[in-house]
Amino acid sequence: MNTKTSGWINGFIGMVIFSGSLPATRAAVAGFDPTFLTVARATIAGLLGCLLLLTFRQTRPTSREAVALAVVALCVVIGFPLLTALALQHITSARSLVFIGLLPLSTALFGVLRGGDRPRPIFWLFSVTGGLLVATFALAQGAASASLGDLFMLLAIIICGLGYAEGARLSRHLGGWQVICWALTLALPVSFTLSILTMPSAFAQVQTPAWLGLAYVSLFSMLIGFIFWYRGLALGGIAAVGQLQLLQPFFGLALAAALLHETVSPAMLATTLAVVACVVGARKFAHR
């Protein structure tokens, strides 16, 4: 198996794992406070990531790499999980997945800013159109609580795009799985302390679906998925393998409908398809 094929396979596995993140988070916030859920998943994954680094005796990152890792940790270890957990207190995971259709574009935008590329003007046309589609869909729903959830999701997409772009850039020389493990380890003192401080007074009342959701987002969404994802980006190319994110809303909607019995409305599906079409166009014209 050649390197590029291996990259696509690893990237696809990572994308499928991430597709279950929002449905699992939706199940977890039914039993856990969003803040505790965020720091608990980071703590569990951080302990495992630290163990991996020690087991394979990885060299410590340089001071410049540590700064970039801090950005990754702030974005994908704390920021995105917290914002999505807050959003999923107000909206369904199926609705939130409409916004995930903008994640490849957010990643591309930060990739352009970080890499100094100069996209064609038509790139921005697709970008603005995709944003307007999401905004129109959110406003058409009309509910105040849903609007708050939508705002959290938009912020989460921006934060995650920066974290993906920064992590992908680091993975070129630091290594795929090492990026997320170092980011988790860097955040571990804070996440562990906060998980103790925000721990629920009683766990007995937490239902099984919430425990399963916590287990999934801790082991798969926070660690295993990133190992495959960053390895895929490193082997197959950031721009190429990154397009696999376009499939994530479809897998996520299927999981939300199958596992959580959430309704996937025609409007949600149509909006997701339209947003994905805009992202495909933006990707095509991302470079001159």
Strand ranges for 130-270 from DSSP E: none
Per-residue confidence (pLDDT) for residue 174, from 0 to 100:
87
Per-residue confidence (pLDDT) for residue 215, from 0 to 100:
97
236 pLDDT above the threshold of 90: no
282 pLDDT above the threshold of 70: yes
38 pLDDT above the threshold of 90: yes
Per-residue confidence (pLDDT) for residue 179, from 0 to 100:
94
DSSP letter for each residue of 181-211: HHHHHHHHHHHHHHHHHT--S-STT--HHHH
Q: pTM to 2 decimals?
A: 0.86
Over the stretch 59-108, which tens digit does the pLDDT of each residue have?
A: 999 999 999 999 999 999 999 999 999 999 988 888 888 888 788 888 87
Per-residue confidence (pLDDT) for residue 256, from 0 to 100:
81
More confident residue, 136 or 193: 193
Confidence of residue 267 (pLDDT cuts 50, 70, 90): confident
Distance CA 166, CA 144 (A): 34
Round the average pLDDT of the chain to a whole number and report it. 87
Q: Residue 110, class by beta-carbon neighbours within 10 Å (0-12 exposed, 13-18 middle, 19+ buried)?
A: buried
Taking a C-beta distance cutoff of 8 angstroms, is the pair 52, 230 a contact?
no
Confidence of residue 30 (pLDDT cuts 50, 70, 90): very high
Per-residue confidence (pLDDT) for residue 142, from 0 to 100:
60
**Residue 201: other Cβ atoms inside 10 A:** 5
Per-residue confidence (pLDDT) for residue 157, from 0 to 100:
94
